[in-house]
Amino acid sequence: MSDAPTLGALLATARRRLAAAGVDTAAIDARLLVAAATGASRLDLLSAADRPVAADAAARLGAWIDRRAAGEPVGRILGTASFYGLDFALGPDTLEPRPDTETLVEVALAAVRSGRIAGVSPDGGGLRLVDLGTGTGAIAVTLLTKLPRARGLATDLSPGALAMASGNADRHGVSDRLDFATGDFFAAVTGVFDLVVSNPPYVASDTIAGLDREVRLHDPRLALDGGLDGLDAYRTILEGLRHHLAPGGLIAVEIGWDQAAAVGDLFGAAGLSEIEVQRDLGDRDRVVSGIRTTESD
């Protein structure tokens, strides 16, 4: 009789350990880690619980469960995260893309498809977009997969992040339509764009220490720290709009849940019109967008 642990036993143990460590998503995380460590499918986990698991796979899972129990996110452990139905490789220089940011993609897609952006067709024909502070490239790559005639530019201050974004663009077949530039927001950008998107750093510096450990200990501070009031990145981005956003073009940015009024005021002061706030699935303010009118500077 084999002494090898079974899929079912490993799954139950992983779930108990993560729950005991205070992981809110213990059941989901245990399932993801067991599947990745053993090569089991979701159906296997349900119907083949008695299947024995090789010692090396069980050891790998044990090490991963230790890391998750200590607060490391599943995406960091596995090196990939799902965003808008696509898988993105992660690195130490990138944020882990989160479901809240999918709201930004939805706003941008709706603007293109509804004709809100002047001179752009619903499939992205005529659209040139720029993603400022791209990280994994999740926003830019996702938009280009959904808008097959659009072209884009992705910027980041971190060369490591841009290397990861470039690999993700290759993975999803959009590398021929996405260029990259190393620099702080618009600093390395030339040209004019119809769509500007960004999920910039927006956490006030003195509140970073109070963030969840999954974020505080594992996301790069460069991608979190928005200055004393959390709004520094928005000010920098808006300063560059007059040179880089076409008349009739749209800017959409992710915000912290309590920043809609402040960012909206900055948009108004920058001469933007049709300023809108979109809520995320948790019913919190998440995206502010606005149009540059032809009369703007």
What's the pLDDT tens digit per position in 206-236? Answer: 777 776 776 766 667 776 656 788 899 999 9
Question: What would the pLDDT profile of 226-267 be if each residue is shown by its tens digit?
Answer: 678 889 999 999 999 989 999 999 999 999 999 999 999 999
Q: What is the pLDDT of residue 38?
A: 92
Question: Coil, strand or helix: which one is 262?
Answer: helix
Average pLDDT, integer, range 163-179: 97
Q: What is the pLDDT of residue 211?
A: 65
Strands 80-83, 86-89: parallel, antiparallel or unpaired by DSSP?
antiparallel
Q: What is the pLDDT of residue 297?
A: 45
Query: What percent of the chain lies above the pLDDT cut of 70?
Result: 94
Q: What is the separation, in whole angstroms, between the first and last Cα of the chain? A: 78
**Contact by Cβ (8 Å): 236, 250:** no
Is the pLDDT confidence value at 268 over 80? yes
| Residues counted in the chain | 297
Q: pLDDT averaged over the chain? A: 91
Q: Tell whether pTM > 0.85.
A: yes
Question: What would the pLDDT profile of 46-89 be if each residue is shown by its tens digit?
Answer: 888 899 999 999 999 999 999 999 988 999 999 999 999 999 99
Is the pLDDT confidence value at 96 over 60? yes
Q: In which band, very low, low, confident or very high, does the pLDDT at 14 lie, cut at 50, 70 and 90?
A: very high
Distances (CA, A) of 13 to 113, 115, 243: 47, 52, 57
Q: In which band, very low, low, confident or very high, does the pLDDT at 296 lie, cut at 50, 70 and 90?
A: very low
Q: Residue written as tokens 């076409």?
A: 246
Q: What is the pLDDT of residue 223?
A: 67
- Structure-derived torsion over alpha carbons of residues 237, 238, 241, 244, reported in degrees to the nearest 10: 0
To which H or E segment does residue 278 belong?
strand 272-279
